[in-house]
């Protein structure tokens, strides 16, 4: 007999949770090892997570499948919650069982429902227990899906995120107190005095802050002066009455601790150190109205509730990590983050300064050791201009990563700014992995054991703007690696006063596969020694537990089994920073599936999710082994300081309280209520955050005093309103209830349709207008509202006006007089008359390289598309002044030629031109993708979401779709192949392979290409080879081979497993009588001819500065680029005749070449294969120098008189016109003294005929 849990004596709870002892089971699951029944009651709903890590059950692909939850004991139930996935069961039943075996109690009998959109979303639904079953004690419940929803015409399994069974009404958070002391993080002890009068700040108040408290006093005064308009002098002495008094009494045990007392008489705060009193100042800020944070002077009642507080932190390390390496964050943006961190007592800023995508800290050549020939300035001159490309984590936009770097002066400025706010900067140079930016910049690092081995053609690793990880590494066997790191860390250590430097150490997957864990650990040991020798303590991600750590060295635990980390603490004396991604610490993870940027492979959710775990329990260690907690943010899909803020706040504030407040004092429902008051503070301070539905946001309204002239209609800014979670139509303000494919709804204390009115204080009222620079959207929280009204005062005077917003009111004073200034608008305005302009630093650039771009005159915060020709490169987003400066990447594989570069923002656009050249092979004569068809394949993943996974995705002309070999039930084994049918019999010239765009999974390494006449008979491959591990297209040239079918075979991938993926395959060939393009080059010494399929047999002999005639045939009508690959510079751009694809141009050999030099002129055109013209520089021929001849000893014989006199006297100047610039000079002959006689006769004869002989004189030595 079952024991029934009492309902009346206990609060309602969800008895279906695994933590309550309930066990799940199901009739089956769609994928073995994934999406099993254990996900049904784990308390996790994460629709934003990567598909393999989503916590949902997915049924077998049959109807009438079911899931069951069996309770630890029988319970009377109030209601059932089922959180359906969008692939729901349109017809379903929920059945109850009193014995756990027989399900004969229908809670819902053949219910129907509409499945939610979009795909992957969560849709919670509540089903009440019928009245007739209210007294039943249920041992189990079962959800049966009678049919499945078709998706794309295919019925997969149906999915459920979670099943809940509640014993009563779900608890609701308590209402907020009328006079709240809503402090975050929660202090150790808070004693409010609700009946006592509050403290009121007056214009006469002072801040008394002697000695070590002075800096904290000045900090507080700066904030309060801006919003109150009060003088607030900071003085060394004074009594408490009406003032704020700060002091320091040293206590080394809890240096960050403080005591604070607020009464009607004044505020006193005593810190245990300068840092402690600074922490007290942050608490004082939160005791005043939220508009204290305003940058504008406002009218408000500046009161602080009476309270006694004593406080000290749980952990010493409470941090946030920024990732400027992937997408740059400016100095000003970093400072703004530091300000918000300090406000919530976060005291460690971890800067991830280098990764695969970019290098962000200047390193000079000063102090290089003997023999070190590395040019360290290349780190920023080259890899400071690289960054992330657009990323799959971005929804509905494709903003490119931002480029740039910190000079050493910039870095020192950040360090000092942080230190002034008691925030310690911890720099990170991640090694030995995550080092592609260093390998891209420094040739010497590309040694035999590194992830990229330098070659004459490619001395450094290609830049990589993807989010791929684990592929790059430094050479563990090369001393150059450690010379480099010693120099880099030495300079960073000299600029970093803090005791820690982060060495990274994570995700060196390819390094350990190639070199083994012993070499990896040995590399880490060398770095640990370098840092210790510099007087710094190393921090590393949890993989560094393999290193020979010393007591006090720190491991940052982010993922995986905690056992090795615990062992390092126990056996090596290491200490921990806990940043557990699976619990809720990674700030780059999406809030939900609608979040338009961010990732979803780890724990997603809002600030309550990030709050609801304990670092001590996560690692099962005592607090004294834990330095603290940190919230990392990675920037694969995050762009700019505002997006950094949006993803960091409020969740990093959850981590702040986790690190500050004792675990037994923390309660998530209480935290939600206190956080409701923090939103208006951030809005008033112009800080972005996610104002989602987790709490009901409070508001803050304050008037703005003004002035005007009498009898003149004026527009007044009457008030500022901070109201997170709301929207406006320009007249009213309402909670944002939009819940569609893009928007997440929110909640606010403000009423729906709240009107804004102004009582002008002269007996008149009118409606006000609501303006904002930042309406609430999926990308940002609701910005500050500027409330404006139009009015004319008839007479001079001082008027007390009142602004009403729904139930909120505030006051302002308007002074009217002939000598008063007109009111000035407070809302920053953008000059829409500015003309859009775009420019680039280099108008000639190599494909794959970065080119700094500058755009101005565009609307702020509105994305603009960037086009190279017709190819969209991505998007940029202008700053508040309408500008954006960063380096764009010319896509690898871009065909050479002249391109318009356009920036387009709706009706606003600007353009410039650039010339692109390429060292890489071009696919000759691409056959149109719609002329190709799939003739066969080894396998395809038809369980992917179409069109992905299918073989046809490899030739659909879309590089963002992909073919995948079958990866389960059963997984296909290598080799894999795709057979492609051509439109006719063609001379196949090449294949272009483009990897899958959004993932390196299954990236092809070794390949073979076959050509067949009938698609059935395949002989030996026409070419085999290996592809690089890059996301760029690779052209595979093929010796011309006739056929109608092409097979692309994949024998291995870069990960070493059996998967294979392809983004796109293109075939190049001559079909239907097409002829290969060719070029002949003619110099004074002769001619050569080369074509797409036949290279020149010998080089053309040329001389320095010589003009060469180039004649091309069988080109298309696109521009032809001739490029000198030896000097890496353009020779010319030609335009063929559209009618026959022929052209003839003159190209000039550089004048600065020398005899014996060899040049290669590359002739390229979109759609045409590369043609190369080899040139050999020879000595320029010179006229022979004759021996000098002595003057004649006798007069020459006289010449007979001409028969006719000339008709005019000679002019003294030749009458023959000078040769035109285009005329070729005739060969010249030298005339010597012995020839003077016949020359004189010739001149006389020609003169008689009215002609002139032009002679060249040469001085004889």
The residues annotated as belonging to the active site are 507
Cis peptide before 185 (omega within 30 of 0): yes
Contact status, residue 987 vs residue 1040, Cβ threshold 8 Å:
yes
Within the chain, what is the greatest distance between any pair of CA atoms?
150
CA–CA distance, 662 with 666 (Å, rounded to integer): 7
Q: How many CB atoms lie within 10 A of CB 799?
A: 18
Q: Is 898 helix (H, G, I), strand (E, B) or coil?
A: strand
CA–CA distance, 1251 with 267 (Å, rounded to integer): 110
Q: With the C-alpha atoms ordered 51, 52, 53, 59, is the resulting torsion angle positive or negative?
A: positive
Lookup: tokens for 891: 């896509």
Angle ∠(950,956,960) on CA atoms, nearest 5: 80
Beta strand 884-889 with 864-868 is: unpaired
User: Cβ neighbours of residue 12 under 8 Å, at least 6 residues apart?
Assistant: 78, 166, 167, 168, 169, 170, 171
Q: Is 517 helix (H, G, I), strand (E, B) or coil?
A: helix
Contact status, residue 989 vs residue 1039, Cβ threshold 8 Å:
no
Q: With the C-alpha atoms ordered 631, 635, 637, 643, is the resulting torsion angle positive or negative?
A: positive
Beta strand 244-248 with 207-208 is: parallel
Which residues is 885 bridged to in the sheet? Answer: 854
Please count the CA atoms within 13 angstroms of the CA of 371 that sit on its side-chain side.
Answer: 3
Contact status, residue 845 vs residue 874, Cβ threshold 8 Å:
no
DSSP string, 1057-1090: SS--EESEEEEEEEETT----EEEEEETTEEEEE
Report CA-CA distances (Å) from 1081 to 534, 593, 1112, 1162, 1163.
Answer: 61, 60, 9, 12, 11
Q: For 70, phi and psi rounded to 5 degrees?
A: -105, 125
Lookup: tokens for 940: 């395809």
Radius of gyration in angstroms for the set of CA atoms belonging to the chain, rounded to a whole number: 38
DSSP string, 699-748: -EEEE--EEE-TT--EEEEEEEEE-TTEEE-SSEEEE----SSSPPP--B
Q: Report the interhelical angle of 479-495 vs 408-419 (nearest 10°).
A: 50
Lookup: tokens for 613: 């775990």
CA–CA distance, 478 with 447 (Å, rounded to integer): 7
Contact status, residue 344 vs residue 282, Cβ threshold 8 Å:
yes
Strand order in the sheet with 844-846: 844-846, 908-917, 897-905, 864-868, 871-876
Contact status, residue 1014 vs residue 936, Cβ threshold 8 Å:
no
For every residue of 652-694, which 3-state class applies, written as one string?
A: HHHHHHHHHCCHHHCCHHHHHHHHCCHHHHHHHCCCCCCCCCC
**Dihedral angle over CA of 84, 90, 96, 102, nearest 10:** -120
CA–CA distance, 1129 with 1134 (Å, rounded to integer): 15
Report CA-CA distances (Å) from 169 to 13, 77, 121, 603, 669.
Answer: 8, 10, 25, 28, 16
Angle ∠(171,609,665) on CA atoms, nearest 5: 70
């Amino acid at each position: 007999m079952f024991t029934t849990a009492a309902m009346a004596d206990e609060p309602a709870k969800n008895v279906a949770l695994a933590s309550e002892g309930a066990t799940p089971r199901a009739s089956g699951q769609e994928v073995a090892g994934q999406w099993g029944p254990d996900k049904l009651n784990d308390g996790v709903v994460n629709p934003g997570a990567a598909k393999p890590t989503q916590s949902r059950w997915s049924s077998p692909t049959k109807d009438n499948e079911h899931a069951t939850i069996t309770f630890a004991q029988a319970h009377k139930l109030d209601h059932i919650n089922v959180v359906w996935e969008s692939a729901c069961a349109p017809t379903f039943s929920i059945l109850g069982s009193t014995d756990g075996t027989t399900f004969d109690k229908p809670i819902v009998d053949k219910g129907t429902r509409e499945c939610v959109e979009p795909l992957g979303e969560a849709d919670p639904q509540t089903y009440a227990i019928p009245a007739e079953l209210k007294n039943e004690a249920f041992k189990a419940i079962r959800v049966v899906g009678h049919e499945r929803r078709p998706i794309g015409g295919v019925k997969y399994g149906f999915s459920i995120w979670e099943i809940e069974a509640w014993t009563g009404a779900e608890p609701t958070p308590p209402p907020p107190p009328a006079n709240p002391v809503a402090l975050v993080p929660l202090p150790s002890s808070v004693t409010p005095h609700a009946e006592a009068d509050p403290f009121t700040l007056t214009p006469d108040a002072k801040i008394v802050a002697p000695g070590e408290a002075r800096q904290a006093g000045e900090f507080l005064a700066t904030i309060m002066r801006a919003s109150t308009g009060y003088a607030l002098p900071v003085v060394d002495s004074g009594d408490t009455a009406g003032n704020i008094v700060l002091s320091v009494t040293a206590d080394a045990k809890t240096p960050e601790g403080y005591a604070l007392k607020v009464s009607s008489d004044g505020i006193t705060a005593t810190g245990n150190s300068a840092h402690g009193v600074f922490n007290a100042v942050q608490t004082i800020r939160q005791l005043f109205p939220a508009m204290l944070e305003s940058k504008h002077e406002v009218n408000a009642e500046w009161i602080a509730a009476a309270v006694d507080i004593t406080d000290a932190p749980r952990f010493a390390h409470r941090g946030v990590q920024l990732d400027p390496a992937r997408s740059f964050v400016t100095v000003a943006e970093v400072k703004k983050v530091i300000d918000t961190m300090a406000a919530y007592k976060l005291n460690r800023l971890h800067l991830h300064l280098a990764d695969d995508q970019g290098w962000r800290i200047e390193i000079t050549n000063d102090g290089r050791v003997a023999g070190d020939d590395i040019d360290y300035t290349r780190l920023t001159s080259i890899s400071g201009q690289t960054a992330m490309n657009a990323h799959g984590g971005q929804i509905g936009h494709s903003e490119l990563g931002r480029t740039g770097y910190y000079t050493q002066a910039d870095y020192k400025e950040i360090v000092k700014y942080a230190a002034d706010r008691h925030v310690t900067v911890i720099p990170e140079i991640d090694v030995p992995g995550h080092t592609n930016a260093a390998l891209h910049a420094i040739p010497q690092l590309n040694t035999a054991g590194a992830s990229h081995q330098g070659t004459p053609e490619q001395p450094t690793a290609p830049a990589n703007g993807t989010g791929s990880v684990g592929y790059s590494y430094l050479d563990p066997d090369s001393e150059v690696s450690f010379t480099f790191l010693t120099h880099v860390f030495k300079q960073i250590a000299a600029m970093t006063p803090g005791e820690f430097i982060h060495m990274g150490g994570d995700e060196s997957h390819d390094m350990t596969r190639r070199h083994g864990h012993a070499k990896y650990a040995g590399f880490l040991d060398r770095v640990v020694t370098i840092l210790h020798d510099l007087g710094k303590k190393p921090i590393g991600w949890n993989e560094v537990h393999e290193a020979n750590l010393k007591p006090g060295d720190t491991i940052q635990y982010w993922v995986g089994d905690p056992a090795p980390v615990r062992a390092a603490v126990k056996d090596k004396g290491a200490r921990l920073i806990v940043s557990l991604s699976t619990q809720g610490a990674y700030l780059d993870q999406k809030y939900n599936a609608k979040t338009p940027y961010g990732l979803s492979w780890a724990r997603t959710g809002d600030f309550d999710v990030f709050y609801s775990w304990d670092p001590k329990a996560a690692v099962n260690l005592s607090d004294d082994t834990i330095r603290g907690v940190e919230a990392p943010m990675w920037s694969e899909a995050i762009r700019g300081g505002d997006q950094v803020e949006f993803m960091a706040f409020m969740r990093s504030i959850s981590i702040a309280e986790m690190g500050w407040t004792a675990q037994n004092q923390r309660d998530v429902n209480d935290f939600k209520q206190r956080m409701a008051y923090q939103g208006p503070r951030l809005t008033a301070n112009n800080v972005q955050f996610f104002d989602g539905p987790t709490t009901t946001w409070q508001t803050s309204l304050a008037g703005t005093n003004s002035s005007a002239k009498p009898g003149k209609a004026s527009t007044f800014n009457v008030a500022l309103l901070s109201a997170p979670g709301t929207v406006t139509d320009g007249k009213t303000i309402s909670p944002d209830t939009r819940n569609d494919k893009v928007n997440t709804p929110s909640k606010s204390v403000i009423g729906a349709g709240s009107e804004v009115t102004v009582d002008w204080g002269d007996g008149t009222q009118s409606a006000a207008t609501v303006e904002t620079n930042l309406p609430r959207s999926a990308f940002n929280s609701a910005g500050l509202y500027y409330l404006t009204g139009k009015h004319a005062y008839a007479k001079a005077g001082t008027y007390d006006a009142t602004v009403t917003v729904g139930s909120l009111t505030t006051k302002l004073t308007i002074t009217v007089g002939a000598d008063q200034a007109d009111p000035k608008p407070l809302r920053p305005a953008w000059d829409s008359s500015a003309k859009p302009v775009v420019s680039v630093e280099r108008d000639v650039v190599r494909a794959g390289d970065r080119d700094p771009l500058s755009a101005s005159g565009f609307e702020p915060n509105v994305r603009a598309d960037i086009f190279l020709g017709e190819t969209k490169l991505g998007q940029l987003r202008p700053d508040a002044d309408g500008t954006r400066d960063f380096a764009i990447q010319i896509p690898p594989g871009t065909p050479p030629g002249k391109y318009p570069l356009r920036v387009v923002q709706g009706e606003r656009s600007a353009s410039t031109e650039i010339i692109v050249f390429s060292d890489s092979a071009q696919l000759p004569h691409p056959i149109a993708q719609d002329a190709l068809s799939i003739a066969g394949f080894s396998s395809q993943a038809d369980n992917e979401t179409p069109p992905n996974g299918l073989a046809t995705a490899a030739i659909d002309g879309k590089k963002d779709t992909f073919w995948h070999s079958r990866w389960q039930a059963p997984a296909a084994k290598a080799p894999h192949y795709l057979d492609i049918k051509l439109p006719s019999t063609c001379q196949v010239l090449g294949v272009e392979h483009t990897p899958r765009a959004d993932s390196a999974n299954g990236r092809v390494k070794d390949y073979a290409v076959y050509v067949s006449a009938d698609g059935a008979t395949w002989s030996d491959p026409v070419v085999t080879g290996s592809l690089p591990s890059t996301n760029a297209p690779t052209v595979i040239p093929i010796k011309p081979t006739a056929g109608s079918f092409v097979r692309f075979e994949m024998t291995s991938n870069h990960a070493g497993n059996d998967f294979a993926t392809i983004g796109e395959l293109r075939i190049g060939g001559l079909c239907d009588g097409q002829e290969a393009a060719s070029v002949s080059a003619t110099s004074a010494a002769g001619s050569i001819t080369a074509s797409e399929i036949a290279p020149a047999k010998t080089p053309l002999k040329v001389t320095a500065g010589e003009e060469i005639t180039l004649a091309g045939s069988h080109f298309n009508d696109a521009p032809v680029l001739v490029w000198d690959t030896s000097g890496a510079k353009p020779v010319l751009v030609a335009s063929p005749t559209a009618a026959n694809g022929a052209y003839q141009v003159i190209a000039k050999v550089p004048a600065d070449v020398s005899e014996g030099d060899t040049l290669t002129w590359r002739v390229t055109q979109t759609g045409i294969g590369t043609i190369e013209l080899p040139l050999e520089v020879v000595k320029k021929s010179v006229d022979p120098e004759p021996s000098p001849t002595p003057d004649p000893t006798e007069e020459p014989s006289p010449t007979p008189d001409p028969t006719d006199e000339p008709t005019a006297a000679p002019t003294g100047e030749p009458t023959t016109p000078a040769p035109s610039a285009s005329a070729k000079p005739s060969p010249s002959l030298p005339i010597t003294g012995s020839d003077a006689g016949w020359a004189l006769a010739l001149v006389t004869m020609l003169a008689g005929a009215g002609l002139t002989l032009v002679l060249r004189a040469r001085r004889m030595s």
